[in-house]
Structure 1
């Protein structure tokens, strides 16, 4: 088991460091229902620690403010009423300073639970690991949500200065797999979310996975060939969405540019395309299938079978991960399966065989969302490195695209 105290403090520090460039107003605004204010993210993860660790496992602990659970509970029905998600941006109070004071209070009170012999209690240790992973997930959401909020500002303000790194050229070619029975799900030591198991078997036909991600240059060709104007390429719901929302390009694109955490920048044609929906990924795969050797979207099981053993870098609490509070996240085409953008699969987000959610409120973490969403694999440039593992299952609704979402094609062989 990792050094929980070290991981806890490193993760908590990262959350706050990434908010350092933000003003009070930046940290309070909410640009759409799918996103939350940065201040709310800082508070919600603190509510999680207070609710599931301190309240239940630290004798005599008293809530920092008895009104705040209503404000910062997300979706845990077992924890009672909460503010509507769409109204999180109305929370001008508590202030950012008050939220940071609460965070410091909770950090200090977590010390007894993080110190031996308390972590010898498996139930406490497991909850601490879950809490660390939960806050790391919200670090990614914080970054993508504030990007969308700044994008909605007509001035296109930058969160960080400087120029983005130029993309690396990705190798062409395919990673082939002979097919057969693959063991799917989390099989290694260390933490995993409940939706990554149980381990089960999946039958794979022979296939290949592209060595590279689809790039902006590829997407420009799709657009130039009428990709957004050709109904035969689209799922029925996708075609309705394209026309209803007047979609003609990935999110954050305008003439030759895209919006980043560094403001509007020239779009690098060699960089992986990102901020696309499942509908767009599927339409592109339909278009590419006629050009690139029968290309299609992979299943999550195919992706995992190729990826097993590919990610050699675990989360290091001392050095962080691919995130750096001084360097904004941006896909650059690393040539790796992990760490540029989340990659759509054609697999619906469903429970694995014999899946059972945990008892109590923490059982609401993943299981109740297993309907109407699609699985993504591979982690993004905004993902904590410890979440870059073959079994990790991200999931979004088919129209959502404010995350760093892209695609890697597969084909039958």
Structure 2
């Protein structure tokens, strides 16, 4: 009979292999040219995502394994992201200039690294297995970034190509009522990831701590496309009083008049090409500035990340419209807290009381980005199912909106 430790090890191995396979499946429709081009400085080429997630495994796990042969020592410079302690790296904004190695060579590198890990698996020390957990979460993050970056790239193509063939739509249920509010308790609450928990979490999710919440209510659904159309019709993008100062300057400077990928004919560009917008689906591809302006217009506000976390207690984080593989990857009508769109919050991405980054180079993963960014909670239709959890903190700069980002309103009670 298999021991509990052996079963746990087998499950970790299966999750790791499934994660690696999903990345390749998501990139399968791309040509070498598709995978090489970079559409803006914030995005990365698909080939770079495939390579960087492999670099992560080679750098932090395999280079410590006896007998491992590095596939190509030039790749350390090309595919390091932001790890200063590892060494120099190619500039982020110039990743689209890496025409070589070709996509086929990156895929071969992935196979080389996967085979080496598979061969070494039984000899990996506990610290390496802990890093495998981090590597799975890291690759899942890059799977979502891969999708958002491909979408941005293809949206710039005048022939509007589609990446994935749409899959049959799930049976439609009753549309949730975004005007319904659920009140939540006030008082001292405990939030964040417990350090003593054996479950994986990023260092920025903890330590767990107590704080005081005032009575609040959360909307029963995310703000919809129809809601956003009403905001536009009422002059939302033309009314300075609704906007934060930086947000209004961004609107004027960038001539923002609608969410990213919207067209005036009622369609939006998606990973399945241009499609008609569903009125009751959550609005997506919003900046924090837009989300905050809408909340002001609606006579409400954005929830804090801690209000969101308390409201989501008891909800299955694997539920809802999340990523299971290639196909239709778009928000759909639903009231789930996890799935469809990430929810912007009113909280800045800052350290929790007592926060300490992980030791070593992996300590650069989150902590050094705790400046000028805002927290999002939940998950989106592009988040790999199983990645999210109650304490997970996503974060982006307030002007960024090429991710699958939306909002859910809150108000004081």
> Which TM-score bucket, shorter chain as reference?
over 0.9
Q: 1:386 to 1:162 in 2, by over 3 A?
A: closer
Distance in 2 between the 1:206 and 1:63 partners? 56
Alignment partner of 1:298 is 2:308: no
1:130-149 aligned at under 5 Å gives the runs 130-149=134-153
Alignment partner of 1:249 is 2:264: no
Residue deviations 1:38-78, cap 9 Å, x none? 1100000000000000002x112121101011000000001
Distance in 2 between the 1:324 and 1:389 partners? 16
1:149-228 aligned at under 5 Å gives the runs 149-162=153-166, 165=169, 169-172=175-178, 173-187=180-194, 189-228=198-237
In the alignment, what sits opposite 1:277?
A: 287
Report the RMSD for the aligned CA atoms in angstroms.
Answer: 1.7
Q: Is the 8 A contact 2:281 2:334 kept in 1?
A: no
Q: Is the 8 A contact 1:185 1:197 kept in 2?
A: yes
How big is the shift at 1:122? 2.7
Q: Is the 8 A contact 1:165 1:332 kept in 2?
A: no
Q: 1:135 to 1:405 in 2, by over 3 A?
A: same
Residue deviations 1:376-409, cap 9 Å, x none? 0011000012222110000000000000000000
Q: 1:325 to 1:298 in 2, by over 3 A?
A: same
How big is the shift at 1:358? 1.1
- The size of the alignment, in residue pairs, is 399
Q: 1:234 to 1:225 in 2, by over 3 A?
A: same
Distance in 2 between the 1:193 and 1:333 partners? 30
Residue deviations 1:229-268, cap 9 Å, x none? 0000000000000000000000000111100001111111
Q: 1:314 to 1:194 in 2, by over 3 A?
A: farther
How big is the shift at 1:164? 7.5
In the alignment, what sits opposite 1:318?
A: none
In the alignment, what sits opposite 2:13?
A: 5
Distance in 2 between the 1:91 and 1:28 partners? 7
1:88-103 aligned at under 5 Å gives the runs 88-103=95-110
Q: Is the 8 A contact 1:164 1:262 kept in 2?
A: no
Distance in 2 between the 1:165 and 1:282 partners? 31
Distance in 1 between the 2:347 and 2:326 partners? 36
Distance in 2 between the 1:204 and 1:371 partners? 24
Distance in 2 between the 1:194 and 1:165 partners? 37
In the alignment, what sits opposite 2:4?
A: none
1:268-347 aligned at under 5 Å gives the runs 268-289=278-299, 295-311=300-316, 313=318, 322-347=322-347
In the alignment, what sits opposite 2:93?
A: 86
Comparing 16-25 and 169-178, the one that deviates more: 169-178
Distance in 1 between the 2:119 and 2:383 partners? 29
How big is the shift at 1:312? 5.3
Q: Is the 8 A contact 2:165 2:328 kept in 1?
A: no
After the TM superposition, list the runs of 4 or more consecutive aligned residues in structure 1 that deviate by more than 4 angstroms: none
Gaps of 5+ in 1: 290-294, 316-320
Residue deviations 1:93-151, cap 9 Å, x none? 10110000000000000014433xx35x3311110100111011100000010000000
How big is the shift at 1:165? 3.8
How big is the shift at 1:189? 4.1
In the alignment, what sits opposite 1:389?
A: 389
Match among 50, 58, 62 for residue 50 of structure 1: 58
Q: 1:127 to 1:314 in 2, by over 3 A?
A: farther
Residue deviations 1:177-233, cap 9 Å, x none? 121111110245411111100000111001111110000000000000000000000
In the alignment, what sits opposite 1:232?
A: 241
TM-score (norm 1): 0.93
Distance in 1 between the 2:166 and 2:69 partners? 45
Alignment partner of 1:260 is 2:267: no
Comparing 173-182 and 305-314, the one that deviates more: 305-314
SS at match of 1:129: helix
SS at match of 1:202: strand
